[in-house]
Structure 1
Amino acid sequence: MQASRTASRTPSRVATRVATRVVAATAVAGVAVLALSAPAFAHVSVQPEGAAAKGGYAVVDFKVPNERDDAATTKLEVNLPADHPLASVMPQPVPGWSVKVTRSKLAKPLTMHGEKIDEAVTKVTWTADGKGIEPGYFQKFPLSLGALPEDTDKLVFKALQTYSDKEVVRWIEVQQEGQEEPENPAPVLELSAATDDHHGAADDASDKTEGKTDGKTDGKADATTGKTAAAADTKGGSDTTARVLGVVGIVIGVAGVAYGVLAGRRRTA
């Protein structure tokens, strides 16, 4: 009788130990997945609205997330690539932000539409008129760029993000081929193959850009701070969904193994 009771308790104890190990393993796996994926959406990045073809024009968005819990982003400085100067750079007004375009003399003049250009935009600075980008939000800063160079596959922009507590995060590290992503990578714009109709791209970019701002004028937009929830970003939402499904898959897989082990032990008992 006593032996029978002991035998009946053994599978229960085994099941408890297995369940405990499953929970621990699942927690570790979940934390690992989130830890590895978290930095992916904390960087200042740049993406084109449509195509960014070599030799053409494009509207690009600099996406700036707030990665602090106790401070707002109040300033963004984007330095344009000096090795591939752009003759035309026009910012789109952003509600709640003032913009300043800085021009500099070129060591080697550019030729655009038959005209020689001896200066180009080297930096664009956005400064918040109000609270800026608060914790848990991001903001997009659009620029119309052109003509894009034809002798490179990408453009590297170095950005400085300033917080309300005066902290400055320098997104200036260039990704080296074959190496891991740096801690503070610079935004990189990938260029697609050249198209036959460069003027069509330029017209499209101009249509998407609201207003023109020269290098000596600060364009002040509406004082309302543009707050956009990070969950509204389609790409970010897709990445988050993929990570959640991955963690759920791990949990289901481990639970299935534990159930099989438990069932086998019960049959043996």
Structure 2
Amino acid sequence: MHISLSRALGTAAVAASLTLLGAGVASAHVTVDAPGAAQGGYTVLTFKVPNESDTASTTELTVAVPNVKSVRTEPLAGWAAKINRNEKGEATSVTWTAAPGNPGIGQGQFQRFVISLGPLPKQENVSFNATQTYSDGKVVAWDQAENADGTEPDHPAPSLKLAAAAANGDDHAVGGGTTEAASDTDDTARWLGGIGLALGALGTALGLGSVIRSRKS
């Protein structure tokens, strides 16, 4: 019985190790995250790029975007960003290149690359094919769709599932529920609120002054 129990525990340990190993490999893919991203809206995308080479560093990343009107990159020390556009002026991809003196993403490291863009296509899922270039010249394309049986391919494309378009038809919705238009409205509301508080304080002061004068008289 003790032998059977030991074998069972040994088998379970091996299975757990393989599961953790598989999870570690899967998590090493290039991924994208954008909480609250919705169809037709604007959002902020964060690409997480791990270095998977034991002998070279990642020195360049190109991410394809779905021909959008607006793309802005977040400043990243040590990296130069370039937005590539088509003849219509639409953004088609963004390329980050390690600046001179920057070795890139080293062994056992990862880097986040952030952009804001929109409007997103009005479809349930959108992929952002990525190309990762290493210092030794090796190029890895992250552009594979999910397998027919639902399993993950070797080099899956970073992808997002988009929420349904806003019911009010606002195409400037940003992930997290704010909008570009709402930003202006919010600023105006703050100004009006500040003016209201100032007038209220003035009114209170005048009222106190009247009370004091009436008591003196």
Say yes or no: does 1:203 pair with 2:164: no
Give the C-alpha shift of residue 138 in structure 1: 1.2
Runs of 4 or more above 3 Å deviation: 17-20, 176-179, 197-200
- Residue 164 of structure 1: aligned partner: 135
* Structure 2 unmatched runs, 5+: 184-217
Give the C-alpha shift of residue 174 in structure 1: 1.7
Say yes or no: does 1:194 pair with 2:180: no
SS of corresponding position for 2:10: helix
- Residue 56 of structure 1: aligned partner: 41
Distance change >3 Å, CA 177–CA 62, structure 1 → 2: same
The root-mean-square deviation of aligned C-alpha atoms, in Å, is 2.2
Say which of 110, 116, 120 aligns to 1:144.
Answer: 116
- Residue 31 of structure 1: aligned partner: 17
- Residue 83 of structure 2: aligned partner: 101
TM superposition score normalised by structure 1:
0.59
Distance change >3 Å, CA 153–CA 99, structure 1 → 2: same
Task: Give the conservation status (yes or no) of the 8 Å contact 2:57–2:107.
Answer: yes
One-letter amino acid of the counterpart of residue 42, structure 1: A
Give the C-alpha shift of residue 91 in structure 1: 1.0
Say yes or no: does 1:73 pair with 2:70: no
Give the C-alpha shift of residue 23 in structure 1: 5.0
Task: Give the conservation status (yes or no) of the 8 Å contact 2:43–2:173.
Answer: no
Identity fraction in percent: 43
2-side partners of 1:94 and 1:171: how far apart? 22
Aligned length in residues? 174
- Residue 154 of structure 1: aligned partner: 125
* Structure 1 unmatched runs, 5+: 1-13, 106-117, 207-269
- Residue 249 of structure 1: aligned partner: none
2-side partners of 1:101 and 1:199: how far apart? 21
Give the C-alpha shift of residue 18 in structure 1: 4.2
One-letter amino acid of the counterpart of residue 139, structure 1: Q
Give the C-alpha shift of residue 145 in structure 1: 0.8
One-letter amino acid of the counterpart of residue 124, structure 1: V
2-side partners of 1:36 and 1:200: how far apart? 37
Give the C-alpha shift of residue 79 in structure 1: 1.6
Distance change >3 Å, CA 22–CA 200, structure 1 → 2: closer
Give the C-alpha shift of residue 31 in structure 1: 2.5
User: RCO higher in 1 or 2 (8 Å CA, sep ≥ 6)?
Assistant: 1
| More helix, by proportion | 1
SS of corresponding position for 2:68: coil
Say yes or no: does 1:122 pair with 2:92: yes
2-side partners of 1:200 and 1:78: how far apart? 22
